[in-house]
């Protein structure tokens, strides 16, 4: 089962996705894509970690090698939460290697179609605002939109979250 949770910053998407994993009644794996580059991001990471401590999660840091982590941990007995895809995308776009990014993205999509178990992906919807002025920011918005479309096409369930409320787009 593959699910995609999309929403804006602080929309409640991570909380709802985490609950979905908890409801799956399987071993819980959290694939974290964030890196603590500054104190504010470190605080965000700490907040998410504290929320999961009581719920028996295994956390795996995967800021770049997401496909490998999914292949390693996905099984019929696991429920994997990936939080979040836009941070993972940022990590790859910062490398400024378009050819490598396209290979990594293709590998990731293939991994999602073949991985066993329950996988829930969380990502920020960033394409609903104005077109950014900077070329890197425009590329990020474009690549995030393409990634979301590709995942939505193969996902069993897609949910958009606003103000902590789910709107199921595909089920």
- Percent of the chain at pLDDT above 90? 77
pLDDT value of residue 52: 64
pLDDT value of residue 98: 92
Q: How far is CA 126 from CA 19, 48, 65, 115, in A?
A: 23, 21, 23, 27
Tens of pLDDT, residue by residue over 138-164, are 999 999 999 999 999 999 999 999 999
Q: Is the pLDDT of residue 24 over 80?
A: yes
Q: What residues act catalytically? A: 48
pLDDT value of residue 45: 72
Q: Which sign does the torsion angle of CA 127, 39, 92, 49 carry?
A: negative
In degrees, to the nearest 5, what angle opens at C-alpha 24 toward C-alphas 33 and 122? 25
Split at pLDDT 50, 70, 90, the class of 53 is: low
Split at pLDDT 50, 70, 90, the class of 67 is: very high
């Amino acid at each position: 089962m593959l699910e995609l949770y999309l929403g804006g910053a602080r929309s409640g998407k991570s909380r709802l996705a985490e609950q979905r994993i908890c409801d799956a009644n399987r071993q819980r794996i959290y694939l974290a894509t964030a890196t603590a580059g500054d104190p504010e991001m470190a605080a965000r990471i700490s907040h998410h970690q504290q929320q999961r401590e009581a719920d028996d999660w295994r956390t795996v840091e995967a800021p770049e090698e997401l496909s490998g982590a999914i292949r390693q941990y996905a099984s019929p007995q696991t429920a994997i939460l990936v939080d979040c895809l836009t941070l993972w995308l940022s990590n790859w776009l910062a490398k400024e290697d378009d050819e490598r990014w396209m290979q990594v993205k293709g590998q990731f999509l293939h991994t999602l179609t073949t991985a066993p178990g329950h996988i829930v992906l969380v990502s920020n919807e960033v394409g609903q605002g104005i077109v950014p002025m900077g070329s890197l920011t425009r590329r990020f918005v474009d690549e995030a939109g393409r990634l979301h479309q590709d995942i939505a096409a193969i996902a069993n369930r897609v949910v958009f979250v606003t103000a902590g409320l789910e709107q199921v787009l595909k089920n």
